[in-house]
Amino acid sequence: MSLPSSTSIEQPQPRVHDVDVITCKAAAVAWGAGQPLVIEQVNVSPPQPMEIRIKVVCTSLCRSDLSAWESQTIFPRIFGHEATGIVESVGEGVTEFTQGDHVLTVFIGECGKCRQCASGCAVKISSLVPLEKVCLLSCGVAAGLGAAWNVADISDGSSVVIFGLGTVGLSVAQGANLRGASQIIGVDTNPEKGEKAKAFGITEFINPNDSKEPIQQVIKHLTGGGADYSFECIGDTGMVTTALQACRDFYSFHLASLLSGVCLKGWGLTVTLGVPKVKPEITAHYGAFLTGRTLKGSLFGGWKPKSDLPSLVEMYTKKEIQVDEYITHNLPFEDVNKAFNLMLEGKCLRCVIHMEN
C-alpha cells in the first residue's frame, strides 16, 4: 500500500530512487458486497512525492473491514487497514522514513484535516517489536483504550457499561480496568463472550436475550441509578439511545450522592465508537440531554497517531497493556476468506492474517 509519509514540509531532500511498479503475486480483492475475496495479481505504483510504499507483513481483520465489505458500493477494493509492514521504498521528499523501517498503518493522519491526514499515515516503530502482534494497535485495541482514556477520561471507582464485546469493546474494558473503574458491565447477545470478557476486566455480563426487563433498566438496578460512562461499540445506532438511557442522570446523581454521602463524579457520559452498518442517523429524546447526559463520538480514541502511538507500543513492550490476548486466530494469507467467516460468525476477536514472503 502507498501512504503519505508526513504532514511536515521540512526541507525535502530530493533523492533518486529506482522504484518501479511492483507486481504483487497475491492480493485479496473484493469485487462486490459480501462476495468471497478473490486472490489475484495486482500492480502497485511507485510511491509519489511524500508517499511511502509498504510491504504489509501482517494484517488483523477489523470489524469495519467487514462492515465495508457488507455494505459499501465502491468495488473492487482491498481491505486490511489494521496492519504492520516494512517500508519498501520512499517517494521524493520523504525524510522521515527509509527503506526497511517497521511501521504501523493508521487510517487517519495526525491533524485529520489536510490531504495527507484524510488518506491515513504510517507510524514508525522499533524493529524489535513483533509485527504479528502490534498490528492490533493500528486500529481496534488503540481505539478502545483511547476511548476510555482520552475521550471519556474514566476516573477511579466509577461504573462503566460497554455495549458490544468485540475487540474494541474489550479494549474499552481494559482501559476502564486500568483506570480503576469499580464496576465494568459488558452487554452482548453472544453468550460465549461472557467468560472471555472477564480476562479484560468485565465484572458483570448481561445477555439482553436473557432479560425480560429493558436492558437500560437492568443497568440502572445494577449501578444504583445508572452508569457513569456507557460505550456503544456495536455500530447499532438504536443502541446509542439505550446507552444514553443506561447512564446516570441529574436525578439519580443527586439521589446517589445523598445516599452515599460522597461527592460523585457527575452525570453520565456516552461514547460511541461503533461504525454504523446501515442506518447512520440516531434518535434520542432531548430529555436525556436536559437531565445532564453527554454524548460524544470517538473515531480513533482521540489519539494523534504519530505523536501518541509510539508510547502505546512502548506500554505493550513493558507489558503494561494486553494486546496478544485479543488474538484468537492466526491464518495464512490464502485463508483470508476463512478469517472473514470467523468474524461474521462471531467466533473470533482478532484473526491475524500472515502474508507470505
How do 269-272 and 183-187 pair as beta strands?
unpaired
Please identify, using beta-carbon distances, which residue of 135 and 187 lies nearer to Zn ion. 135
The sign one gets for the Cα dihedral 123, 128, 131, 133 is: negative
Instruction: Tell me whether residue 173 or residue 227 sits nearer to Zn ion (CB atom).
Output: 173
Describe the crossing of helices 336-344 and 63-71 by its angle, rounded to 10 degrees: 90
Q: Which of 1, 52, 62, 244 binds Zn ion (CB under 5 A)?
A: 62
Positions in 73-92 near Zn ion (CB under 5 A)? 82
Minimum CB–partner distance for residue 81 and Zn ion (Å): 6
139 sits near Zn ion (criterion: CB under 5 A):
yes
Pick between residue 168 and residue 244 the one whose CB is nearest to Zn ion. 168
Question: Are the C-beta atoms of 147 and 302 separated by less than 8 Å?
Answer: yes
Cα dihedral 155→160→165→168 (10° resolution)? -30
Q: Which amino acid is at 330?
A: N
Part in contact with Zn ion (CB under 5 A); list of ranges 116-124, 137-145, 243-251, 293-301: 137-145
Shortest spacing between CB 134 and Zn ion, in angstroms: 14
Query: Binding-site residue total for Zn ion (CB under 5 A)?
Result: 4
Q: Which of 321, 141, 134 is nearest to 233 (CA)?
A: 141
Asked if residue 64 binds Zn ion (CB under 5 A), the reply is yes
Distance CA 204, CA 47 (A): 49
Shortest Å, Cβ 275 to Zn ion: 8
Our CB check for Zn ion shows the closer of 85 and 225 to be 85
Give the cell for residue 167: 475487540
Give the shortest CB-199-to-Zn ion separation in angstroms.
22
Among the candidate windows 32-40, 63-71, 123-131, 348-356, which touches Zn ion by CB under 5 A? 63-71
* Cα 116 versus chain centre, distance: 20
Tell me which residues touch Zn ion (CB under 5 A).
62, 64, 82, 139
